[in-house]
Amino acid sequence: MEDQSEKEYDPARDVGRLINMLSHQLKRQIAFPEEESSLTNIQRLVLNYILFQVLKRDVYQKDIEKEFQIRRSTATATLQLLEKKGFICRETVEWDARFKKLIPTEKTEKLREQIISNTQYMENLLKTGIDEEDLKVCLRVLGQMSANLSGNEKVKGRECIKDE
């Protein structure tokens, strides 16, 4: 007997697939300054985050880990490459030598206006034709989906195993 859920499967309603497609479209559409073109997508996103956040507050590796939901090792590797390529430097803070403040270099500061312009263009393009109420619902739903994925359950094979 055919499973009811298989019978009703509609790929057009496959949320993960649609989000993945949107992500790929977004990556293809983004225009980056030539200096930024050697960076991976996560490096660009982290650099943009640092560039915007340092205007308001100090930024540390822990902030990157939390914002992008990435492991410490991934954040470390990403930041090391950004530093090696001359986009950021890390400065030890007075109150704890283990903490390094992330600072955009002059090279990155020169790109600030272009990066801001590109970001605003992409945000406007993404929101075109979407009324404010629908956008609020979309953001709330995407936030909930992210929270669902970052919960304490890990899927292993077909069973869910709760972290203790």
**Which CATH number does the domain housing residue 99 bear?**
1.10.10.10
Higher pLDDT, 95 or 163: 95
Q: Is residue 85 part of a domain?
A: yes
Structural element, H or E, at residue 88: strand 88-93
Q: Which amino acid is at 162?
A: K
Residue 133 in any domain: the answer is no
Q: Which stretch of DSSP H or E encloses residue 64?
A: helix 61-68
Among 22-31, 54-63, 82-91, 119-128, whose mean pLDDT is lowest?
22-31
How many structural domains are present in the chain? 1
Quick one: pLDDT at residue 83?
94
Strand, coil or helix: what is 155?
Answer: strand
Q: What is the pTM of this model?
A: 0.67
Going by pLDDT thresholds of 50, 70 and 90, the confidence category of residue 32 is: low
Residue 4 lies in a domain: no
CA 79/CA 115 separation, integer angstroms: 18
Query: How far is it, in rounded angstroms, from Cα 54 to Cα 61?
Result: 13
Question: Is 25 strand, coil or helix?
Answer: helix
The label of the residue with tokens 């990435």 reads: 70
Q: Which residues contact 70 (CB under 8 A, 6 or more apart)?
A: 42, 64, 78
- DSSP three-state, residue 70: coil
Q: Tell whether 60 is covered by a domain.
A: yes
Residue length of the chain: 164
pLDDT at 163: 46
Amino acid sitting at position 121: Y
pLDDT tens sequence across 133-159: 999 999 999 888 888 887 744 544 444
Domain that holds residue 46: 14-123
3-state secondary structure of 121: helix
Nearest to 67 by CA among 36, 37, 102: 102
Instruction: Please say if the pLDDT value at position 131 is more than 90.
Output: yes
| pLDDT (average), residues 101-105 | 94
102: number of Cβ within 10 Å: 23
In a domain, residue 159? The reply is no
142 lies in some domain:
no
Does residue 105 lie in a domain region? yes
